[in-house]
Amino acid sequence: MPIATPEQYTAMLDAAQSGDYAYPAVNVTSITTINAALKAFADAKSDGIIQFSTGGGQFASGLNVKDSVHGCIVLAEAAHRLADKYDILIGLHTDHCQPEAAEGFLKPLITETTKRRQAGQNNLFQSHMLDASILPLEENMAISKQYLELCAANEIILEVEAGVVGGEEDGAAGTEDTPAEKLYTTPEDMLSVYESLNGIGRYMFAATFGNVHGAYKPGAVKLSPEILKQGQDAVIRKYGEEAKFDLVFHGGSGSEKHQIKETLEYGVIKMNIDTDTQYAFTRPISDHIMTNYEGVLKIEGEVGNKKVYDPRSYLKKAEEAMASRLVEACNDLESTGKSIAKSG
C-alpha cells in the first residue's frame, strides 16, 4: 500500500525528524506529473509527498467544470491507483488554502476521507494545509484549532503557517509586495502556535524565515534559517524536547544548498517544490517544439509529422525531466535511499 496509511505517514515524519532529513512535497496537476513524481521517488528510493493546490484541482477538473474539490479528488484517487505499482511510501497533501476558501475546499475533502474510513479504506489524503497566515496570529490560531480538530478526528495531519511567504503561488497568502517584516516568524509567534495547538492533534508548521515563492537566481532570496533554530529553542526550553516542531520549508526555489541543509538541522521535515519542477517539465516541451517546428505545425498546406505532434512524444520527455529534477531535490534534502516502506 504505497499511499501511506495514517500510521505509516506518522512514521515517515518521525523518521525524517530523527534522521535530520526532509521530504520533497511536489505539486502536481495531472496524471503525467503524478507519474513523474512517483518515478522520481522510486528512482531515489525515497518516500515523498505529492500535493495538490486549489488551482491544480481546478485545472484537473477541466475547463467546463473548474471545480477544485472535484479535481483534487480525481487526482488523489488516480494517485492511489498509480502508486500501487511502486514500493515506496507516498503521502497525499493539499497545499495552501486560505480561510475564506476552507469551508468549500478543506471540509469537503476531509468528508471524502471520512467516507473512505467508514468503508474500511485508507485516507484519501494524509495531510492538508490551512494557510491562515494572512490573519492576525490570534485569529489564525482560532481557525487552525477548528480545522486541526476536524483533521485529528480522521487521523489527518494539518499544516499551518504563521508569518507570510512572499511571492505568489496558488492559494498562498503572500504577494509580490509582502512587507519584509511579515516574512519572518518570531520565537514569540512560535511559542504561541505551540501553546494554541498542543494536545489537539499532530500538525506541521510552516514558520517563515524570508521564504519567497517563485523563481529566483541563487542568492537572490535572503533566508535566515537561524530563525527556525531560535523558535525551536524557545519552545523546547519551555516545554521540553517533545515540543519540537515538524517544520515545513515553503518557497525553496533559488535557495542555496547549504541553507537547505541548515534547515534540516532545525527540524524541517517537508520542503515544497513547484516552481523548479514546473520549469523542468516545460523545458523539454519547448525544445521539442522548436526542434520539430515544421513537423509539429502543418505549414503551408503540408501535413506535419504525427510522430512529433502526438502529445506523448513530448510529454514523455517532460515526465523524465521533471522526475530528474525531483531526484535532485531528494538528494538535497537527504531523503534519498531512506524509504521506510519495508519497515513502515
* Residue of 47, 95, 170, 332 with catalytic role: 95
Angle (CA) 82-86-91 rounded to 5° is 70
DSSP 123: P
Which residue in 156, 159, 158, 161 sits closest to 140, CA to CA? Answer: 161
97, three cell numbers: 488554502
Report the distance separating Cα 45 and Cα 337, nearest Å. Answer: 5
Which residue in 268, 273, 270 sits closest to 253, CA to CA? Answer: 273
Residue 188 burial (CB count, 10 A): 11
Report the distance separating Cα 51 and Cα 124, nearest Å. Answer: 12
Residue 9 amino acid letter: Y
Q: Confirm whether 67 is a catalytic residue.
A: no
* Burial degree of 63 (CB within 10 A; 0-12, 13-18, 19+): exposed
Report the distance separating Cα 281 and Cα 269, nearest Å. Answer: 25
Residue 37 burial (CB count, 10 A): 28
141, three cell numbers: 490560531
For residues 196 and 141, the answer to whether their CB atoms sit within 8 Å is yes
Q: CA distances (Å), 169 to each of 137, 157, 218, 306, 320, in order?
A: 21, 22, 19, 36, 24
Q: Which residue has the cell 537566481?
A: 217
Which residue in 343, 335, 336 sits closest to 11, CA to CA? Answer: 343
Please list the active-site residues: 95
